[in-house]
């Protein structure tokens, strides 16, 4: 099951680390582009979860038990009133959007004063490859672009994730740069998958202690309104 592989488990662990920093447990949370809802189990520990997903098929797969409310919709035009959410999570969403500036403005609009926007995006345009094309990515981001994109927020923290395994991924992406669009398969032998998960867990442990990694193939942001 691909949802059990090291990448998805590590990303859920990372999301949990971010949410543990909020002391409240009755947060109003919006998950944008929740896909089939693998992160929702984590979010439910922290409050009421609302879901927006553009893909109807993916939305139908999300169990009603995992969210308060689910709607088909677009991040560039959110169907919620302003100052509604404590937290908005967009995990690997912005790279799919035509107008990311409009999307971020919409997110800011629906956040309460002092609300938080949490996101992850793929980093480094130089490794934009057949994998990105297959996933429908418009681009990969730099720290500078993200700082520009989130400049209306009061406090912004942008850092790297997936540092230790980045050389393997970068090599693979550069080799596949011009091949036909195809998603990198992450089906690994159990022993390798477990090893990679341990490496990512070590990295998540450093992030939990507020350590900043020098490089990585993913960028995450925590932005305070």
Which of 36-40, 47-51, 80-84 shows the lowest mean pLDDT across its residues? 36-40
DSSP letters, 198-225, are: HHHHHHHHHHHTTPPPS--SEEEEEEE-
Q: How confident is the model at residue 101 (pLDDT cuts 50, 70, 90)?
A: very high
Q: Kindly report the average pLDDT of the chain as a whole number.
A: 92
Kindly tell me if the per-residue pLDDT of 19 is higher than 80.
yes
Kindly tell me if the per-residue pLDDT of 185 is higher than 70.
no
What is the rounded distance in angstroms from the CA atom of residue 119 to the CA atom of residue 103?
12
The residues facing 159 across adjacent strands are: 220
DSSP label at residue 181 = P
Kindly tell me if the per-residue pLDDT of 195 is higher than 90.
yes
Share of the chain above pLDDT 70, in %: 97
Reported as type and span, the H/E element at residue 32 is strand 27-32
pTM: 0.94
Confirm if 220 and 14 have CB atoms less than 8 A apart: yes
Kindly tell me if the per-residue pLDDT of 88 is higher than 90.
yes
Task: Tell me the three state secondary structure of residue 121.
Answer: strand
**CA distances (Å), origin 157, targets 95, 137, 171:** 18, 23, 28
Reported as type and span, the H/E element at residue 161 is strand 155-161
Which residues contact residue 77 at a Cβ distance below 8 angstroms, ignoring those fewer than 6 apart? 106
Q: What pLDDT score does 186 carry?
A: 62
């Amino acid at each position: 099951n691909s949802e059990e592989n090291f990448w998805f488990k590590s990303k859920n662990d990372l999301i949990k680390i971010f949410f543990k920093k909020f002391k409240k447990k009755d947060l109003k949370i919006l998950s944008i582009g929740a896909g089939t809802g693998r992160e929702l189990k984590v979010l439910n520990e922290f409050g009421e979860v609302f879901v927006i997903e553009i893909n109807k098929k993916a939305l139908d797969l999300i169990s009603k038990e995992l969210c308060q409310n689910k709607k088909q919709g677009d991040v560039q035009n959110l169907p919620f009133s302003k100052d509604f959410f404590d937290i908005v999570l967009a995990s690997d969403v912005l790279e799919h959007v035509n107008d990311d500036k409009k999307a971020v403005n919409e997110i800011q609009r629906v956040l309460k004063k002092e609300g938080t926007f949490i996101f992850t995006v793929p980093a480094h345009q130089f490794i934009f490859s057949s994998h990105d094309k297959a996933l429908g990515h418009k681009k990969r981001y730099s720290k500078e672009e993200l700082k520009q994109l989130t400049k209306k927020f009061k406090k912004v923290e942008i850092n790297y994730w997936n540092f230790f395994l980045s050389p393997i991924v970068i090599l693979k992406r550069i080799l596949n740069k011009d091949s036909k669009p195809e998603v990198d398969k992450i089906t690994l032998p159990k022993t390798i998958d477990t090893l990679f998960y341990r490496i990512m867990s070590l990295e998540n442990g450093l992030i939990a202690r507020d350590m900043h990694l020098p490089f990585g193939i993913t960028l995450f942001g925590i932005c305070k309104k």
